[in-house]
Amino acid sequence: MDELSLVALVVGAVYLGAFACIYRILLTYRTTQGAIAWVIALIGLPYLAVPMFVLFGRHRFGGYVKARRLGDESLTNLLNRFEQQTTSIPIPASERFTDELQVLCRLGRQPFTDGNRCTLLRDGEATFEALFEAMEDAEHYILLEFYIVRSDRVGRRIKSILERKLAQGVEVWFLYDDIGSVWLPRKYLNQLAAAGARVASFGNGNIRRRRFQINFRNHRKLLVCDGKIGFVGGINLGDEYLGTAMDQEPWRDTHCRIEGPAVTGLQLAWLEDWNWASNDFPSLDWAPVDNQPGDDEVLMLPTGPADSWETCTLFFLNCINNARTRLWIASPYFVPDFQIMNALQLAALRGVDVRILIPEKSDSRLIGLAAYSYLVQACKTGIGIYRYQPGFMHQKVILVDDRYAAVGTANMDNRSMRLNFEITAITTARHFIRSVESMLEHDLDNSRLMIESDYKDRSILFRLCCRAVRLLAPLL
């Protein structure tokens, strides 16, 4: 074969691959913007776009779906038992348990439960203190699942506690994301495993099922002790949440502690992730809680690309569309798609007090620029965008009227809505709502309300950069 024929063969193979990718996009795309961006790239720059699409272009976590189906009977039986607990709130129930809350139950395939006690943990110091205490008090098992684990002071304290509890006969399952925890030393994991912990990364599932799916992340941050006490929120395991990391601004974040039957929902989400990562179905405590620690109504809402619907997107839309008087959202990454932005504008036009709290100082320059491009749209309809000043705000919190509050891991960006595995705790508890309100009021007092001139008075180059980066929103 001469050189010219070889070149023609390579070019033909590249374009054949490009058209195969386009075929897949046309059959499976979820957003028009993302589909158009990929199609243009595949036609114009196939040599670059084809390998990029293979690595990053898929929007369904196929391997996880297969794993879910393989373990479906056991998981379904557990879920059915959970829904039939006496603490589960029936549908329909009281007037307070409205249609929008019933929708969330269907989205997450989990029930609202009564008899819980929720505690808001307003910062890293309060969160780690509560995490350490719960692990120290564990008698039977500890389940951990975190996107980022560091081998710093916090990470070493966690490992020390786990090793001590393992020596006491407490079982430990440790699940981390291999992308988020890419800098975690292998020695850290090996020492935990040597002490008796079961350790797995979310990328450890069957290699044939997970190949070319590195664009998907397990962004969940949760802890369960003995099936009775659970934690969920935005805080990973690292010193930055204490403001002690030498090369970073202090991180402002939020978590919550939950005690009661809702922890079963948290444990179910962990189990499904663990089953995918390790092909293991551990025996855990699923007995209904006898002594209810409180009277808070709580729902655990796991979301991710293995769901039948865009569960996270529908969660945000449900909150926005049903807000009546107030909608306060804190998110470190604010890159909404057109349907989320339209819903926010409609809420503001209905007279809802819509406030979006984002960081002034971000760990992503691109996302920080993209947020500016929404400012004019927001201001014209009365949406308030506030930039938190002291450090990097990383919390993911929603307050809807005085009716319910949510604390979790999901951001208002394409990655959380379509690519990441996330989890959110939602509660109607009045005391918790008041705590969230007080916390957000304090954060808003430490924030700057943006105005149109913050964007319009900037240079044309800055505005062009903001608009250009916004085009990349489906890929951010």
Residues with catalytic roles: 219, 221, 226, 394, 396, 401
Asked if residue 120 lies in contact with residue 435, where contact means CB atoms within 8 angstroms, the answer is: yes
> Which CA distances in Å does 429 have to 98, 143, 288, 300, 392?
14, 26, 21, 14, 28
Specify whether the backbone of 391 is left (phi greater than 0), alpha (psi in -120 to 50) or beta.
left
Q: Name the strand (E) or helix (H) holding 165.
A: helix 153-167
Two tokens, residue 287: 């007995």
What phi, psi does 69 have (nearest 5°)?
-70, -40
* Alpha carbon of residue 157 to chain centroid: 25
- Contact status, residue 145 vs residue 222, Cβ threshold 8 Å: yes
DSSP 3-state of 324 = coil
Nearest to 154 by CA among 89, 240, 212: 240
R_g (Cα) of the chain, nearest Å = 23
C-alpha torsion sign, points 190, 191, 196, 197: negative
**Does residue 92 have a cis peptide bond before it, meaning omega lies within 30 degrees of 0?**
yes
Cβ–Cβ < 8 Å for 138, 165: yes
Do the strands 222-225 and 217-218 form a parallel or antiparallel pair, or are they unpaired? Answer: unpaired
Assess contact for 232 and 119: CB atoms under 8 A: no
Report the alpha-carbon distance of residue 347 to residue 264 in Å, rounded. Answer: 34
